[in-house]
Amino acid sequence: MERGFFSNVELRTPSGRFYYSLAVLFLLLVAIITLFPFFFAFTSGLKGSTEIFAGGLNMLPQVPQWQNYVEAWQRFDMARLFGNSFVIVGVGVFLRLTISAAAAFSLSKLKPIAGQFITYGFLLTLMIPPIAYFVPLYMTISKLPLLDISLLNTYWGLWLPYSVDAFSIFVLKTFFDRIPVDLTDSARVDGANPLQMLIHIIMPLSRSILVVLAVLAFVGLWKDFLLPYLVLTDPRSQPITVRLFYLADDYSVNLQMAASFIALLPPLVIAIMLQREMKIGLTLGGVKG
């Protein structure tokens, strides 16, 4: 059986076993560094407030206080915060995938006039740091041009910026380019319009890459803080990231850590559940053609 980038022949040699052991140790170290914040947040939520600041490594609690998680769930009103976040992120991911797929299909299969320059325009936006256009974005949200209405303190003030993502459009266009044109030509001969070709042919063939982009979008939107912090000022509609920030000074550190660990569970669980689909999507994105 082949083991990653080492063949069976290489593993039979002393140098191959040595480098394989080094690779395993390196990956183990990376895994420990990656998982350490999750483990620290979890165990800190089981400690008392003073125990968290005790000297030394102090990773495990002396006496686990499981009631901290129950208390954090109730005091922070986590059910409502989760509901707000899922509404914001769920609709944002749906709009992003829908608009990105439609734009990528147009650029890839419909071949619009100056489509290559439009693609270059999308790529140019990837080179601009998001913070550079944050002020114009906020001014646009606060007063939409032509319509002269404000989207502040509404979910549309987040959904509209979330719905357009140049990276998703570029990835989907690259993937759509590798789908044989004979499929769309045959559908066109049978009388299918572009929307039908997108829904019934392109989207089913792109399921795996769509799952990858959906997970990346979910994680990115779930952890977004600055834009929701400025757009949503009503505590009843704020997502979990913003509301925990406002409530941080009102509760003890151990409850804050417990609430923070609970808040990071949804993207973690979704990534674990869909890791197989993500692996297939990344593989197809790399070798399909």
pLDDT, tens only, 140-182:
999 888 888 999 999 999 999 999 999 999 999 999 988 888 8
Question: Looking at the predicted structure, is the pLDDT value of residue 55 above 70?
Answer: no
Neighbours of 2 (CB within 10 A): 8
User: pLDDT digits over 58-103, tens only?
Assistant: 778 888 888 989 998 998 889 999 999 999 999 999 999 999 999 9
Residue 248 — pLDDT band, cuts 50, 70, 90? confident
Rounded to the nearest 10 degrees, what angle do helices 166-177 and 275-287 cross at?
60
> In terms of Cα–Cα distance, which of 85, 53, 41 is closest to 256?
41
Considering the chain, tell me which residue range(s) the CATH 1.10.3720.10 domain(s) occupy.
76-287
Tell me the pTM: 0.84
- Looking at residue 268, its pLDDT comes to 85
- Looking at residue 160, its pLDDT comes to 94
- 140's tokens: 């646009």
User: pLDDT digits over 92-133, tens only?
Assistant: 999 999 999 999 999 988 888 888 888 888 888 888 888 888
User: pLDDT digits over 264-285, tens only?
Assistant: 899 888 888 877 766 665 555 4
The larger pLDDT score, comparing residue 264 to residue 1, is at 264
- Looking at residue 9, its pLDDT comes to 67
Q: Give the torsion sign (CA, 193, 194, 196, 202).
A: positive
The class that CATH gives domain 76-287 is mainly alpha
Question: Looking at the predicted structure, is the pLDDT value of residue 287 above 50?
Answer: no
| Rounded distance between C-alpha atoms, residue 256 and residue 128, angstroms | 35
- Looking at residue 191, its pLDDT comes to 86
Amino acid in position 139:
M
User: pLDDT digits over 11-33, tens only?
Assistant: 677 777 787 788 889 989 998 99
- Looking at residue 289, its pLDDT comes to 41
Neighbours of 285 (CB within 10 A): 18
- Looking at residue 41, its pLDDT comes to 85
CA angle 277, 183, 103 (to 5 degrees): 65
- Looking at residue 190, its pLDDT comes to 85
| Rounded distance between C-alpha atoms, residue 21 and residue 13, angstroms | 12
Q: Tokens 């040699």 identify what position? A: 13
User: pLDDT digits over 181-238, tens only?
Assistant: 888 888 888 888 989 999 999 999 888 899 889 999 999 999 999 999 999 999 899 9
- 121's tokens: 């325009």
- Looking at residue 284, its pLDDT comes to 55
